Amino acid sequence: MTWHKALFEPRSVAVVGSCSPGKMGHVLITQLLDGGFDDVVAVNPKAQGIRDIPAVRSLSELKTGRLPIDLAIIASPAATVASVLEDAGKAGVKAAVIITAGFSESGNEQEEDKLLAVAQKYGIRLVGPNCAGIVNTKHSLFPTLETRPPSGDVAFISQSGALGGAVLSWAEEQGVGLSKFVSYGNAVDLSEIDLLNYLRDDDETRVVALYIETVSDGRRFMEAASSLSACKPLVVIKSGRSASGGRATQSHTGSMAGSDAVYEAALQQCGAIRVAGIEEMFDLCRGFVHLPPMRGKRIAIVTNSGGPGVLAADAGDREGLDIAPPSGMLRQRLASQLPDFYALTNPFDLTVQGTQDEYRDTLIETLTEYDAAIAINVNTPYLDVAPLARGVVAASKATGKPIVASFVAGQPAAAALPILAEGCVPNYVTGERCARVLALMARREQRAAALRSPAAQPTFMHDLSAKPVPWSGSPTEPEVMDWLEEVGIPVIAHRFVRTADEAIRAADRFDEPVAMKIVSPQVVHKTELGGVALNLRTPDEIRAAFSRMKGLVAAEAFDGVLIAPMVEHPVEAIVGLTQDRQFGPVIAVGLGGIYTEIFKDLILHVAPVSVGEAQQMIECLHGVEILRGARGSVLRDLFCLAQLVSDVSRLPFRFSGIDELDLNPVFLFERGCAAGDARLIPIQGARQQRSK
């Protein structure tokens, strides 16, 4: 028997914990019985049962011959749970849900480890501890402290028990039915990753919703999430957006790439749709459950009232939908069919005169050239709303394309709601929410298509068994530049020199005027300290600059200077690598110069990325036109930048020990590109510096 069979479709269930009224065992058993699941055994020191279910003092007392207990729901005190699991193992229990709190979440890791050890000894799979239980509506199984939700197609997995409870309580009112619910708590054994992998293949689940605060293993999470996303929609609430990054970073890109931005990138890469909260989650789940997929972003808005139509159009525009005007042909067809048609443009305004047939026909006609429609009806006490709703439902059935409705408001619209619900047309209280749902659904379709294309199949490499970088401490800039060149990353021509005479000779080898940069372990912010001199043309200028730089630091801290030719009309990008605590190596590309920081124009991806993915990242930058150099005289080589981004993103998988790497700037040329400055912080060095 698989763990999920034992967990979600147990033949019988033992509830371990006090059964006195008000105690958790009592709540759990009542929920199970009231939910329609009768094969329950109560386990508690008093051998107290509820109604006519059997009760024993411990699982070891269970008589052989009775129906095997596949699942134990454990709510006994924390100190007893390990021994309860022992008994459960001996009694042949296959899975356990541990409601009891007081483990790692309150510092008691030891006791939690013990649970896992016992479970592994007997091959029991665990949900929890410190969780709110599970639900399988299709099996009438409700071992949870929370409200029993209606049955439906959405599975909901929650790291937070309370938030899970809120979702269950709200599901009925929101019109969202659940297939399964799991509050996985501390996830000592089964985590969100196991559950995602299971739900991918669960035929009773068409949409998966997930609430997370953290993930246990970023890369395995991404594998599970993208594998699921390729099959069915995955809606994610990730909290902690505002939490300060969590780790101190020293690099440019690192400090801009807070932990939440990495989650955002990771979720996007694996095709999940992130929403801001529960309300949006419900809105979106209803869309996914009831509507066919969005094939594009062209949306028609059919309304009986101008204002709300325009507000929906505004929202659609904001959300990136295309509220395009109709073609001349469509306009003609509408004009011929709908004699008193008011406004033959998008939004299509049927006015307060709009009839059932006009709603239906306008929707059917417009959907010949739009991908989806929003049907708005603002009702008044003197309009009969039911037929209008029927017109919308008829169009939905006739076209097979996504139609959402906003029939409002209050009592005058009430008669429409059951008709729309019955007809699988999700109704939202505002056109703005309609637009948001359609926009997110379109986004999902786009990402799912990308995940399904064999060329774009993402690989979330785990293997870090690579050779170490060639330094134990922090390398100097010339060391990093030389190493990058060696491993195939283009860098600009440069010479590291230790004396003024060497500097003059080095400058002589370049045709252009040169830049000089100090090399010293003491100087991190070179520009601010006067450690950079530009446009040096003559030996005198070079000599003067050299002696100025030498004076900036103590003699023993002065390694020398780096000489490089000046780049004319520079167009600059920035490329960086950081190590994220959850997701490992993360690659970033952005607009170079001071604009990067001020406009936060930086795109992250969990590394590695293919050249194609890197191209997409670059295209997503607001300032991509600046990088392309379209406003200057010479177009820049963005393909080569994508190649560099992809190559840099693979470095952490070829070489171990890179904590952060900043290429800032990367100069873009008509052909090719090259890092103009490089800073690498090895993992060792970073730790040392941080512990200071």
264: contact with a copy of itself by CB under 8 A: no
77: contact with a copy of itself by CB under 8 A: no
DSSP 556: G
Do residues 426 and 286 make contact, with C-beta atoms less than 8 angstroms apart?
A: yes
**CB 196 → a copy of itself: shortest distance, Å?**
19
Q: Which of residues 203-262 bind a copy of itself (CB under 8 A)?
A: 211, 213, 237, 239-243
* Nearest residue to 183 (alpha-carbon basis) of 125, 132, 149, 147: 132
The residue (of 328 and 410) whose beta carbon lies closer to a copy of itself is: 410
User: How many chain residues are in contact with a copy of itself, going by CB under 8 A?
Assistant: 72
Amino acid (1-letter code) at residue 326: P
**CB 478 → a copy of itself: shortest distance, Å?**
25
Do residues 375 and 363 make contact, with C-beta atoms less than 8 angstroms apart?
A: yes
| Long-range contacts (CB closer than 8 Å, 24 or more residues apart) made by 522-527 | 522/553, 522/554, 522/557, 523/552, 523/553, 524/250
Candidates 223-231, 276-284, 531-539, 676-684: pick the segment binding a copy of itself (CB under 8 A). Answer: 276-284
431: contact with a copy of itself by CB under 8 A: yes
Q: Which of residues 122-151 bind a copy of itself (CB under 8 A)?
A: 132, 145-147
Candidates 49-57, 362-370, 375-383, 500-508: pick the segment binding a copy of itself (CB under 8 A). Answer: 375-383
568: contact with a copy of itself by CB under 8 A: no
Q: Is the peptide bond before 347 cis (omega within 30 degrees of 0)?
A: yes
* Nearest residue to 133 (alpha-carbon basis) of 82, 176, 96: 96
Question: Is residue 552 classed exposed, middle or buried when 0-12, 13-18 and 19+ CB atoms within 10 A define those classes?
Answer: middle
Binding-residue pattern over the window 598 to 617 for a copy of itself, x denoting contact by CB under 8 A: xx-x----------------
How many angstroms separate the Cα of 557 from the Cα of each of 29, 543, 623, 689? 72, 19, 39, 17
**CB 691 → a copy of itself: shortest distance, Å?**
24
Q: Which of residues 163-182 bind a copy of itself (CB under 8 A)?
A: 163, 165-167, 169-173
Write down the residue that tokens 């999902």 correspond to: 444
The residue (of 168 and 604) whose beta carbon lies closer to a copy of itself is: 168
Candidates 84-92, 301-309, 480-488, 605-613: pick the segment binding a copy of itself (CB under 8 A). Answer: 301-309
φ/ψ (deg, to 5) at 150: -70, 160
Helix (H) or strand (E) holding 661: strand 658-668
Q: Which of residues 314-373 bind a copy of itself (CB under 8 A)?
A: 314-318, 323, 352
The residue (of 145 and 614) whose beta carbon lies closer to a copy of itself is: 145
Helix (H) or strand (E) holding 236: strand 234-238
Amino acid (1-letter code) at residue 63: K
Binding-site member from 52, 569, 594, 692 for a copy of itself (CB under 8 A) = 594
631: contact with a copy of itself by CB under 8 A: yes
382: contact with a copy of itself by CB under 8 A: yes
Do residues 496 and 518 make contact, with C-beta atoms less than 8 angstroms apart?
A: no
100: contact with a copy of itself by CB under 8 A: no
Q: How many other C-beta atoms are found inside a 10 Å radius of the C-beta of residue 608?
A: 23
- Residue 69, helix vs strand vs coil: strand
Dig out the tokens for 331 from the structure.
Answer: 């306009």
186: contact with a copy of itself by CB under 8 A: no
Candidates 277-285, 561-569, 636-644, 679-687: pick the segment binding a copy of itself (CB under 8 A). Answer: 277-285
Binding-residue pattern over the window 13 to 32 for a copy of itself, x denoting contact by CB under 8 A: ---------x----x-----
Question: Is residue 60 classed exposed, middle or buried when 0-12, 13-18 and 19+ CB atoms within 10 A define those classes?
Answer: middle
Binding-site member from 159, 229, 399, 520 for a copy of itself (CB under 8 A) = 159
